[in-house]
Protein backbone atom coordinates (compact mmCIF):
# COMPACT_ATOMS: atom_id res chain seq x y z
CA UNK A 1 0.00 0.00 0.00
CA UNK A 2 1.11 3.48 -0.77
CA UNK A 3 -0.30 6.96 -0.73
CA UNK A 4 -0.49 8.14 -4.31
CA UNK A 5 -1.43 11.60 -5.59
CA UNK A 6 -3.62 11.73 -8.64
CA UNK A 7 -5.00 14.60 -10.65
CA UNK A 8 -8.23 13.52 -12.29
CA UNK A 9 -10.43 15.85 -14.30
CA UNK A 10 -8.75 18.84 -12.67
CA UNK A 11 -9.21 17.63 -9.09
CA UNK A 12 -6.45 16.39 -6.79
CA UNK A 13 -6.89 13.11 -4.94
CA UNK A 14 -4.75 11.18 -2.50
CA UNK A 15 -5.51 7.50 -2.67
CA UNK A 16 -4.37 4.45 -0.75
CA UNK A 17 -3.51 1.82 -3.33
CA UNK A 18 -1.08 -0.88 -4.30
CA UNK A 19 1.46 0.87 -6.56
CA UNK A 20 1.02 -1.80 -9.25
CA UNK A 21 -2.78 -1.67 -9.18
CA UNK A 22 -3.98 -0.64 -12.62
CA UNK A 23 -5.27 2.91 -12.74
CA UNK A 24 -8.68 1.64 -13.91
CA UNK A 25 -9.57 0.11 -10.55
CA UNK A 26 -8.34 3.11 -8.62
CA UNK A 27 -10.50 5.44 -10.70
CA UNK A 28 -13.52 3.22 -10.24
CA UNK A 29 -13.16 1.93 -6.70
CA UNK A 30 -11.10 4.52 -4.83
CA UNK A 31 -12.38 7.64 -6.57
CA UNK A 32 -15.83 6.30 -7.43
CA UNK A 33 -15.95 7.24 -11.12
CA UNK A 34 -18.12 5.19 -13.46
CA UNK A 35 -15.86 5.95 -16.39
CA UNK A 36 -13.62 4.42 -17.60
CA UNK A 37 -14.91 0.88 -18.07
CA UNK A 38 -13.60 -2.63 -17.78
CA UNK A 39 -13.66 -4.47 -21.10
CA UNK A 40 -10.79 -6.92 -21.10
CA UNK A 41 -8.15 -5.89 -18.57
CA UNK A 42 -5.59 -6.92 -21.18
CA UNK A 43 -4.98 -3.75 -23.16
CA UNK A 44 -6.86 -5.21 -26.14
CA UNK A 45 -10.08 -3.23 -26.48
CA UNK A 46 -9.94 0.39 -25.29
CA UNK A 47 -13.03 0.43 -23.05
CA UNK A 48 -10.83 1.67 -20.19
CA UNK A 49 -9.20 4.53 -22.12
CA UNK A 50 -8.31 7.77 -20.33
CA UNK A 51 -6.13 10.69 -21.35
CA UNK A 52 -2.84 10.85 -19.48
CA UNK A 53 -1.06 14.13 -20.19
CA UNK A 54 -3.09 14.31 -23.40
CA UNK A 55 -2.30 10.81 -24.68
CA UNK A 56 -4.97 8.13 -24.91
CA UNK A 57 -3.85 5.30 -22.60
CA UNK A 58 -5.31 1.99 -21.50
CA UNK A 59 -5.95 2.41 -17.78
CA UNK A 60 -6.44 -1.33 -17.27
CA UNK A 61 -2.75 -2.02 -17.82
CA UNK A 62 -1.28 1.23 -16.51
CA UNK A 63 0.04 0.84 -12.94
CA UNK A 64 -1.37 3.68 -10.85
CA UNK A 65 2.08 4.78 -9.68
CA UNK A 66 2.96 5.62 -13.29
CA UNK A 67 -0.01 7.96 -13.48
CA UNK A 68 0.92 9.76 -10.25
CA UNK A 69 1.01 13.55 -10.60
CA UNK A 70 0.09 13.40 -14.28
CA UNK A 71 -2.98 15.05 -15.72
CA UNK A 72 -5.66 12.38 -16.08
CA UNK A 73 -8.83 13.15 -18.02
CA UNK A 74 -11.72 10.70 -18.25
CA UNK A 75 -14.65 10.99 -20.65
CA UNK A 76 -16.61 12.68 -17.87
CA UNK A 77 -13.95 15.36 -17.66
CA UNK A 78 -13.61 15.97 -21.39
CA UNK A 79 -16.65 18.19 -21.81
CA UNK A 80 -20.08 18.85 -20.40
CA UNK A 81 -23.47 19.13 -22.05
CA UNK A 82 -23.20 22.88 -21.61
CA UNK A 83 -19.63 22.98 -22.97
CA UNK A 84 -19.17 19.87 -25.03
CA UNK A 85 -15.79 18.95 -26.41
CA UNK A 86 -16.01 19.20 -30.22
CA UNK A 87 -15.57 15.45 -30.52
CA UNK A 88 -18.44 14.81 -28.11
CA UNK A 89 -20.65 17.26 -29.98
CA UNK A 90 -19.83 15.54 -33.27
CA UNK A 91 -20.59 12.06 -31.92
CA UNK A 92 -23.89 13.33 -30.56
CA UNK A 93 -24.84 14.95 -33.84
CA UNK A 94 -24.01 11.75 -35.70
CA UNK A 95 -25.94 9.77 -33.08
CA UNK A 96 -22.99 7.42 -33.05
CA UNK A 97 -22.90 4.19 -30.99
CA UNK A 98 -25.28 1.42 -30.12
CA UNK A 99 -24.71 0.32 -26.51
CA UNK A 100 -21.88 2.80 -26.05
CA UNK A 101 -19.86 0.58 -23.73
CA UNK A 102 -16.83 1.04 -26.00
CA UNK A 103 -16.97 4.77 -26.36
CA UNK A 104 -14.22 5.87 -23.98
CA UNK A 105 -11.76 4.39 -26.44
CA UNK A 106 -13.19 6.01 -29.55
CA UNK A 107 -13.97 9.46 -28.20
CA UNK A 108 -10.81 9.93 -26.16
CA UNK A 109 -8.58 8.50 -28.91
CA UNK A 110 -10.27 10.82 -31.40
CA UNK A 111 -9.81 13.79 -29.08
CA UNK A 112 -6.10 13.00 -28.64
CA UNK A 113 -5.68 12.43 -32.38
CA UNK A 114 -7.29 15.73 -33.38
CA UNK A 115 -5.24 17.57 -30.80
CA UNK A 116 -2.09 16.30 -32.49
CA UNK A 117 -3.34 16.21 -36.09
CA UNK A 118 -6.23 18.60 -36.68
CA UNK A 119 -6.58 17.20 -40.22
CA UNK A 120 -5.74 13.53 -39.78
CA UNK A 121 -5.01 11.34 -42.77
CA UNK A 122 -6.69 7.95 -43.18
CA UNK A 123 -3.44 6.37 -41.98
CA UNK A 124 -3.35 8.52 -38.85
CA UNK A 125 -6.96 7.64 -38.04
CA UNK A 126 -6.21 4.00 -38.66
CA UNK A 127 -3.20 4.16 -36.32
CA UNK A 128 -5.26 5.83 -33.57
CA UNK A 129 -8.15 3.36 -33.84
CA UNK A 130 -6.44 0.07 -34.69
CA UNK A 131 -6.32 -1.11 -31.07
CA UNK A 132 -9.99 -0.40 -30.37
CA UNK A 133 -12.97 -2.73 -30.44
CA UNK A 134 -16.62 -1.87 -30.93
CA UNK A 135 -18.46 -5.16 -30.66
CA UNK A 136 -21.75 -3.62 -31.78
CA UNK A 137 -20.19 -2.44 -35.04
CA UNK A 138 -20.84 1.29 -34.77
CA UNK A 139 -17.81 2.05 -36.93
CA UNK A 140 -19.64 3.76 -39.80
CA UNK A 141 -21.13 6.36 -37.47
CA UNK A 142 -17.87 6.76 -35.60
CA UNK A 143 -16.13 7.46 -38.89
CA UNK A 144 -18.70 10.10 -39.81
CA UNK A 145 -18.38 11.68 -36.36
CA UNK A 146 -14.59 11.92 -36.55
CA UNK A 147 -14.82 13.61 -39.95
CA UNK A 148 -17.39 16.01 -38.60
CA UNK A 149 -15.24 16.83 -35.57
CA UNK A 150 -12.21 17.48 -37.81
CA UNK A 151 -14.26 19.82 -40.00
CA UNK A 152 -15.62 21.62 -36.98
CA UNK A 153 -12.12 22.32 -35.72
CA UNK A 154 -10.95 23.51 -39.14
Partner 1 sequence: MAATSRREFLAIGGLLVGFKFGDSAFAPQLLAAETAQTPAPARLDSWLRIGADQSVRVFTGKVDIGMGVQTALMQIVAEELDVAVARVELIMGDTGETPDQGGVGGSTSISAGAKPLRNAAAAARALLIELASARLGVAPGQLEVADGVIRVKGDASKSVSYGALVNDHNLTENLRVSGSGFAVNVEGNGKPKDPAKYKIVGQSVPRVDLPGKIFGRAMYSTDVRVPGMLHGRVIRPSGAGASLVRVDDSAAKGIRGYVQTVTRGNFVGVVAENEWAAIRARDAVKVTWSGVADVFPSDLYAHMRQAKPKASRESGRAEFSRGQKIVEASYEWPFQAHATMGPGCAVADFRADGITTVWSGAQKPHALKQGLAQMLGVDEDRVRVVWVEAAGSYGRAGDEDVAGDAALLSQAVGKPVRVEWSRADMTAWGGKGPAAMVDFKAALGADGRIEALEMIARAFSGTEIIPQANTAGNMLAGQLIGMPNTTEGNEYVQWGASTFAYEIPQVHWAGHVIAPLAPAASPMRAMHLRDPNGPAGTFAGESFLDELAAAAGADPIEFRLRHIKDPRMEAILKAVAERAGWETRPSPKRDLGAGRGIAIALRGGTYVATVAEVEADRTNRAIRVKRLVCAHDCGLIVNPEALRGTIQANLVQSMSRALKERVTFDDHKVTSVDWKSYPVARWADVPKIEVVLVNHPEIAPSGAGEPSSRPTAAAIANAVFDATGVRVRRAPILGSG
With b for 16 or more beta-carbon neighbours within 10 A and e for fewer, the 59-73 pattern comes to bbebbbeebbebebb
Q: Does 27 bind partner 1 (CB under 8 A)?
A: no
By beta-carbon proximity to ligand FES, the closer residue of 15 and 134 is 134
Opening angle at CA 66, ends 60 and 71, nearest 5: 90
Beta bridge partners of 129: none
End-to-end CA distance of the chain: 47
Q: Does 63 bind ligand FES (CB under 6 A)?
A: no
Site of interaction with ligand FES (CB under 6 A): 38-41, 43-48, 58, 60, 97-102, 134-136, 138
Site of interaction with partner 1 (CB under 8 A): 1, 17-18, 21-22, 25, 28-30, 32, 34-35, 37-42, 44-45, 47, 74-82, 84, 88-93, 95-104, 107, 125-126, 129-130, 132-141, 143
Amino acid sequence: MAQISLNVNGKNYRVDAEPDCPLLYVLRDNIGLNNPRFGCGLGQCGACTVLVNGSAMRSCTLPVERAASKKIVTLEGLGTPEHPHPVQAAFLEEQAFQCGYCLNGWILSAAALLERHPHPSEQQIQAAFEGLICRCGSHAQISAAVKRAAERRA
